[in-house]
Amino acid sequence: MGRMPKPIETSVPTRAELIEHLVRTRIAGQVATPRENNLSHYRKLANGDRHYWLGLELGDRWTDEQDVLAVMAERCGVVDDPEHRQGQDTIDPELTVDALDRMAARLRKAALDRQRVLLATGHPGGLLDVHRATADALRTAGCEIVAIPSGLTADEASVWQFADIAVLERGATLWHTHSPAPMAAILDGLAAAGRPLPDLVVADHGWAGCAAQRGLDAVGYADCNDPALFLGEAEGTLQVVVPLDDHVRDPRFYDPMVAYLLNAADLLEG
């Protein structure tokens, strides 16, 4: 590998310390997303609302809301009782850290093989710097961070790269989006320019779903009200999905999680 990145500005927590931090900051544990919202999204996905499919093609495999709930209980840690219809819901912090460990293994492979990596977010208010720190570490380890073609548009907005991360921009504002269209625009743009597609996509929302549906290696993050990516992971379409609240009160709360991830991926060691 090349020279190693500067350490991010936080110490690397142990697993136990990270779990305590995730629960205290409500990245996991008793999260802010209410049970009613979770169940509403599971129902809409099961009823075929493509907005909730996040770029994946789920066919008729997930038409029962209770099947969706079962996967979310297993992979995200929401309450598995179908009679729990309102109030508090949860993300299991043990599952969060387990998924971070799996993501770290894929990032380590990307670094060792000097792979081309594309990073993107539909949740810039919460996760932009999580992805930015990952991009910095991968580039310093010798990876190519894919530069997207210029002039791309999707959903009546511009697809830009900000701090190495692909985002949707409209009216001088970075947009929160679940749409797969921006990632589709990037992949189509790369193909039209005769450029190779990424070896790995690190993303969230429809950016991750679209990349995985097109057969690319994809890992990412998802909240407990975004079940599609977890279904994709269960089916093997996505390689890793990390369950977390994707927009907590302070984005700096994610720093210990990123330190843990990059250290587990051997991207912080000299």
pLDDT value for 5: 42
Residue range 76-105, pLDDT digits in tens: 999 999 999 999 999 999 999 999 999 999
Distance in angstroms (rounded) separating the CA atoms of residues 232 and 44: 16
Mean pLDDT of 108-125: 98
Residue 166, by phi and psi: left (phi above 0), alpha (psi -120 to 50) or beta? beta
**9, pLDDT greater than 80:** no
pLDDT tier for residue 1 given thresholds of 50, 70 and 90: very low
Residue range 218-252, pLDDT digits in tens: 999 999 999 999 999 999 999 999 999 999 999 99
Q: Higher model confidence: residue 1 or residue 163?
A: 163
Distance in angstroms (rounded) separating the CA atoms of residues 169 and 158: 5
Q: Tell me the whole-structure pTM to 2 decimals.
A: 0.95
pLDDT value for 10: 73
Q: Higher model confidence: residue 270 or residue 226?
A: 226
- Strand-pairing partners, residue 158, are 153, 169
Q: Are the CB atoms for 229 and 209 separated by under 8 Å? A: yes
pLDDT tier for residue 8 given thresholds of 50, 70 and 90: low
* Angle, CA of 200, 203 and 204, to the nearest 5°: 145
Q: Are strands 116-119 and 144-145 parallel, antiparallel or unpaired?
A: parallel
Mention every residue, 6+ apart, whose C-beta is less than 8 A from residue 60: none
**6, pLDDT greater than 70:** no
Distance in angstroms (rounded) separating the CA atoms of residues 238 and 220: 8
State what percent of residues in the chain have pLDDT above 90: 95
pLDDT value for 103: 99
Q: Higher model confidence: residue 5 or residue 76?
A: 76
Residue range 22-65, pLDDT digits in tens: 999 999 999 999 999 999 999 999 999 999 999 999 999 999 99
Quickly list DSSP for the chain: --PPPPPPSSPPPPHHHHHHHHHHTTSSEE-SS-HHHHHHHHHHHHTT-GGGGTT---TTTT--HHHHHHHHHHHT-----TT--SS--EE-HHHHHHHHHHHHHHHHHHHHTT-EEEEB-S-HHHHHHHHHHHHHHHHHTT-EEPPPPTT-EETTEEEEEETTEEEEEETTEEEP---SHHHHHHHHHHHHTTPPPPSEEEEEHHHHHHHHHTT--EEEEE-TT-HHHHHHHHHTSSSEEEE--SS-S-GGGGHHHHHHHHHHTT-S--
Residue range 136-192, pLDDT digits in tens: 999 999 999 999 999 999 999 999 999 999 999 999 999 999 999 999 999 999 999
